[in-house]
Amino acid sequence: MASDASQKPKVHIYSTPTNEVTPLLERYMIAEKYERDAKKYWDIFYKRHQDRFFKDRHYLEKEWGHYFSGAEEKVVLEVGCGAGNTIFPLAATYPALFIHACDFSARAVDLVKAHKDFHESKINAFACDLTSDDLVNHIPPSSVDIVTMIFVLSAVSPEKMPLVLQNIKKIMKPNGYVLFRDYATGDLAQERLTCKDQKISENFFVRGDGTRAFYFSEEFLKSLFQENGFSTEECGLCCKQVENRSREIVMNRRWLQAAFCLDNGNLEIPKSLKEPEDGLDVDISEGFAFEMFGISSSRDEIMELKIRDWNFKIKLLSKEFQHTCKSTGLMLWESARLMASVLASNQTIVSGKKVLELGSGCGGICSMIASKIARLVVPTDGDQKALELLNENITSNLDESLSSKLHIKKLNWGNKEHIESVKKLSDNKGFDVIIGTDVTYVAEAIMPLFQTAKELISSNEGDEEGLKPAFILCHIFRRVDEESILSAASCFGFQLVDKWPNNMTIESPSHGTINSWFEGRIKEDDIENPALNIMYFHAT
C-alpha cells in the first residue's frame, strides 16, 4: 500500500472560508465560471481525446431495439452526439433511420462529419446549446419519433434541464419517445468527486478537466420529466461492478436507464376547453394542451383592482390553470399590490427618478403607478408570455402620455446581454430605485438577483434631498429565509438600512423610512397577508 506522502493531494474548488459570506459568494462565482466556460471545456475534451474516449454503443439494439424497429421509417435525434458513438451503430443496425445529431461542442460535430460512415443524406449534424438555441432552427417541428439522451443531460446544470426538455418537445411527434441513460447517485465517480471537494451544488460536480456531471436519483429524474410533459414508460437503476485487475480494485458503477413518452394524445383536456361557451373557438393546436395550459386568449381572467386613485383591469392567467403554470409571472401577487399601494401613497419614493422593476410579471401595477411621476420606468421579466401580457395590460390601462415613459424589457438575471440592454435605457448611469415584489421565491435565483441589481443600480451618492439609490424588496418569506437574502445582498455590496415590520435596531440614517410610508397612508385592507415584508437596501 502506498504511503500517505505518496498520495495525490485533494483538489479543492473552494478556499477555506474566512467568514460567513465568502463560501456563498465563492460557490456562486465558481458555478458561474463553469457554466460560462462549459463549451470551452468540452471543446478541449474532444481536442484531447478525439473519438477515442467513448466506446461505440452496440447495446442499443438489445436494450431499446423495439423502439427503433418497425415497418415505417423513423426519425431520431441524438442529443449530445459527441464523436458519434451512438449514431453510427444505430445507422448501421437500422439503415432506414434518418438521424439528427447535435452537440454543445462544435469540435465534436466536426468529428462526426469527418467519420467514414457520415453521409449527409442520412445524418444531419449540427452544433447546438439546447439551453439557449432553438432546435426548430435545425429540425422541423413535430417531426422526430425518438430522442436519445445518453450520458448527456448530466452535463447540464440542474436548473437548466427543464429548458432542454422544453426545447426537444418542440421537434417531437405526439407520442414520441425519449430514451435516457445517465449517471445515478452513489456512482463511484460521484464518491470520488465528493472526496475531492469538487461539488458545485447538490449532486452536481466539476471534474478535473472542467467538465461537469450531475448524478440523478430516480425520484428526481421522474419528476423532472413529468413536470415537463412526459410520462414514464420505464425507469430503473442499473448497477455493475467493474474490475481493474492490474490495480486489484473493484469499482461500483451506477446509472439510470429510462424511456419517457410525450403522450399528447392522452392528456385530459378540461371540460371548459372541450365545450367552449358563448360560441368561442378554443385553439388547442401548436401544443396548447401539453404546454401546461399556457396563455389562451379566450380563457384569460380579468382582475379589476382599485389602488388609491387608480382603477386597473389586469389580464392574468385564469385561476383554473394557475396551479399547472411553470411561470409565477402570470399571476398577481399580494406583495405587488402592497408595494403599489405604497408607491401610490408616497410619490416621493420615485418622483423624478429612473425606476427599474425586476420580475414585474404580467401585472406591472407598480411600474404603471410609478410612471405618473418618475422620469423613466423599466418593468422587466424573463418569461416571454408574462412580457406579452404585461404589454397588453400597460397598453389598456395607461394613457399614452404615461406609457411613453415606460419601456418593457426582457431580463433574465445574470444575463450580461440583457443587463447591458436595460442599462442603455438609463444612459448607462443606472437606476435610482429598483423594485422587486415576490422575487425571492427560488433559492438559486437570489445570487443572480443581487448581482443584476448591483450592475443596474445608480452609483450616485444621493439626490438633492440626500436620498441614496435604493433596492426595495417586498415579499413573503417562503423557501428563502431572511438570513440567506442578507448574505447574498452582502456578497454584492448591498446593506440593509430599513425593514418592515421592524423588529430589530438598524443603525442607519434611513432607519424609519418605511414606517413613514405607512403612517396614516396605508389601510389595513392594503395588507392582504400579515406575513408580508419589505426590505430597503443601499448599495455600498
Tens of pLDDT, residue by residue over 499-523, are 998 754 444 555 678 888 987 666 6
Helix (H, G, I), strand (E, B) or coil at 77: strand
Topology given in CATH for the domain delimited by 38-265? Rossmann fold (3.40.50)
pLDDT of 244 > 70? The answer is no
Average pLDDT of the residues in 54-67: 76
pLDDT of 250 > 50? The answer is yes
pLDDT of 196 > 70? The answer is no
**Assigned C-alpha cell, 43:** 471543446
Mind listing the pLDDT tens digit for each residue in 429-488? 999 999 999 999 877 889 999 999 999 999 887 665 557 999 999 998 877 889 999 999
The DSSP output letter for 184 is B
Average pLDDT of the residues in 166-179: 92
Q: Cα dihedral angle (473, 295, 304, 441), rounded to 10 degrees? A: -20
pLDDT band at 175 (very low <50, low <70, confident <90, very high): confident
Q: What is the 3-state secondary structure (H, E, C) of 110-159?
A: HHHHHCCCCCCCCEEEEECCCCCCCHHHCCCCCCEEEEEEECCHHHCCHH
The CA R_g of the chain, rounded to the nearest whole Å, is: 27
Average pLDDT of the residues in 371-391: 93
Q: For residues 375 and 474, what is the distance between their CA atoms, to the nearest angstrom?
A: 22
Q: For residues 79 and 171, what is the distance between their CA atoms, to the nearest angstrom?
A: 12
Phi-psi region of 503 (alpha: psi -120 to 50; beta: other; left: phi over 0): alpha
Read off the pTM: 0.51
Q: Please, where in the chain does CATH 3.40.50.150 lie? A: 38-265, 301-539
pLDDT band at 320 (very low <50, low <70, confident <90, very high): very low
**Assigned C-alpha cell, 150:** 445518453
Average pLDDT of the residues in 151-164: 90
Q: For residues 138 and 171, what is the distance between their CA atoms, to the nearest angstrom?
A: 10
pLDDT band at 148 (very low <50, low <70, confident <90, very high): very high
Asked if 34 and 198 count as a contact pair (C-beta separation under 8 A), the reply is no
Q: For residues 342 and 471, what is the distance between their CA atoms, to the nearest angstrom?
A: 15
CATH code, residues 301-539: 3.40.50.150
Q: For residues 334 and 303, what is the distance between their CA atoms, to the nearest angstrom?
A: 13
Average pLDDT of the residues in 30-45: 68
Asked if 502 and 514 count as a contact pair (C-beta separation under 8 A), the reply is yes
Pick the range with the lowest mean pLDDT from 135-149, 293-307, 482-496. 293-307
Pick the range with the lowest mean pLDDT from 2-11, 30-39, 134-143, 337-346. 2-11
Average pLDDT of the residues in 295-310: 72
Most trustworthy range by pLDDT among 29-38, 132-141, 309-318, 417-426: 417-426
Q: What is the 3-state secondary structure (H, E, C) of 185-241?
A: CCCHHHHHHHHCCCEEECCEEECCCCCEEECECHHHHHHHHHHCCCEEEEEEEEEEE
Buried b (16+ CB within 10 A) or exposed e, 355-386: bbbbbbbbbbbbbbbbbbbbebbbbbbbbebb
Q: For residues 395 and 105, what is the distance between their CA atoms, to the nearest angstrom?
A: 43
Mind listing the pLDDT tens digit for each residue in 6-21? 444 333 444 333 434 4
Residue 390 or residue 525, greater confidence: 390
pLDDT band at 420 (very low <50, low <70, confident <90, very high): very high
Q: How far is CA 424 from CA 167, 428, 429, 459, 499, in A?
A: 31, 5, 8, 15, 31
Describe the strand order of the beta sheet including 433-437 as a list of residue ranges. Answer: 409-410, 376-381, 354-358, 433-437, 470-476, 532-539, 494-500
pLDDT of 274 > 70? The answer is no
pLDDT of 277 > 70? The answer is no
pLDDT of 328 > 70? The answer is no
Asked if 536 and 457 count as a contact pair (C-beta separation under 8 A), the reply is no
pLDDT of 207: 78
pLDDT of 452: 96
Q: Cα dihedral angle (140, 141, 145, 151), rounded to 10 degrees? A: 90
pLDDT of 144 > 50? The answer is yes
Mind listing the pLDDT tens digit for each residue in 398-415? 988 887 889 999 999 989
pLDDT of 270 > 80? The answer is no
Tell me what the pLDDT averaged over the chain comes to. Answer: 79
144-150 vs 75-79, strand pairing mode: parallel
